[in-house]
Structure 1
Amino acid sequence: MIRQFINACLLLILMCQTAIAQPADINSRLNVSIHMRDSGYTMGDYINMHVEISTKNKLSIDPESLPLIGRINPWLDLQDLQVKSEKGKTTLDFTWQIFATVEIAQSLKTPQIQLKNLANPQQLITIPAQRFYYSPVLPYPIGEVKRHDNIPPPAFDVHTPLMLMGICLILATILSLLLLWLKDLLPWLPYQPGPMTALARQLKACGNDHLQHDQLQIIHHALNSTAKQSLYPSTLDKLFKVAPYLEKERDAIHAFFKASWHSIYENTSETPAITVAQTLAWVNRSAIAERLYRKHAEVAHKKLHR
């Protein structure tokens, strides 16, 4: 008798624990009603679904549990969602839109939605999927239907990007060379060359071994341009005052000026011929000195006016 009483007590305790551990139905205190037309839809139509959730307890839907506006699946989009809360009732207005088409009428379903309650995080609010009938746009063909193969994806255009890259590379090279030229950083193409630099380029293009009469005049013109006045044997030293960078070539310039002066103006047959190589040697050195001097003078001028 005592053993039966103990067994009955243990059974009662076990039943109480089971009842306490088992959660209550999450929708037992919620009344979810859905209003939606279930037929008459075709491609591009909107589906308006009105959901009412009635409860006596506090209900606050978690915004993060609501479906996002946009593509839901390949044939259904959620265009709009409005949520309104009143005393004891929360309404949700879904606006779906269909984009695909079918050949024959079919029965489709909206997606099932589960919402969370912020007032009771363990409680889930389930909006069941709603069935509706979807009609085709065109009548079903009676004859045989010949289906075409899928259109292959368009080929990637390789030539246009390569051509644009080549054009950009050429433009970048041209602009870089132009910038280097404006900064006078190209040794073979000086920017605004001085008289001696221009003279050196002319003599390098000379094809004969000895200087001719017109070439001697060109050299004299370059020396006059450097001195900014007409030079004579008696005034040649003024050249080195105006262009001090030619001081190292004083002897070579004096020797050339004396020989060329006799050859041009006195026409003496005893004057030896002046070689191009000998003249080009001191002209090249003078051109380098002129270029360096002008570059340093330009830098000093910029620093002075800052």
Structure 2
Amino acid sequence: MRIVLIMVLSLLGCSGSIDEPVSYFNVETPRPFGYVNGDEIPQRIIIEIRSGISLQPGSLPAKGQINRWLNLNQVTVKQTGQRYQIDLLYQVFYAPLEVKSLTLPGFTIQLSQGEKSIGQNVPAWTFTLSPLRELVVRQTEQGEYMRPDSPPPLLANNQVLYGLAASLSVAVLIAAYLAYLYGCFPGMSRRTVFKLALRKLAGLSKADMEQALTVVHHALNSLNGQPLFFNRLGEFYRRNPEYLQINAQLAWFFNYSNRYFFSDGMIAVAQDLQQLKELCEQCRKIERGSQ
């Protein structure tokens, strides 16, 4: 019997909380100090109500001027089921001569359940407002004392520096590669043999055919690392396969050279010298990697 009585009393004690229209209520405010004229002060109200009860938006403060020093700039209501989030944004227009306490006015949120109206009080909130300047302004020889403006914060430029360094590195590598292809490094003579040969051929005529043939032979020998003859072209191609594409021109060169040096009555013509220069130009393109 005693146990039954305890259970009945417990149910009666809980019945009041079950019938409460507001299951949760909280007012969130920022710091109550450190404000000056023109600052905005946010206030958030969280209220959770029982099913069947609704909030009356008309009971919330109206946007606009509250009093001579306080404005309500924004009123936002977000509803999630029976949970309401009310965001108010106040702005203060008061310039005190010293630190002063001010109060955001309280108000009552009206809730309705059918024809019945229920009120939930939002308490007033007190904060302090600071002056923009000292009550007694300091003076200097130049007049009224003013602190210098705060310097602007520096923007992080690490990404820009990294990008610049990467771009410069790529540019240097490309320049070095092009210089290598064009034979600008003295220690890499294998990349300049036909470049030098073309320079020498440029000043020769058909009357200098012997010298022109010698120039091309010297270039091929330098590239091969030893004297190059027609019957050793196969070995030359194995070491330098990129020159296989001009096999016909090289074969013509060696045949022409043999006839010129070892045949009687061989007469050089301008077309022969031009063909020799074209062969050297093709070798130069291969040397540079552009063919």
Please indicate the TM-score interval, normalised by the length of the shorter structure. Answer: 0.3 to 0.5
The TM-score with structure 2 as length reference comes to: 0.40
The TM-score with structure 1 as length reference comes to: 0.38
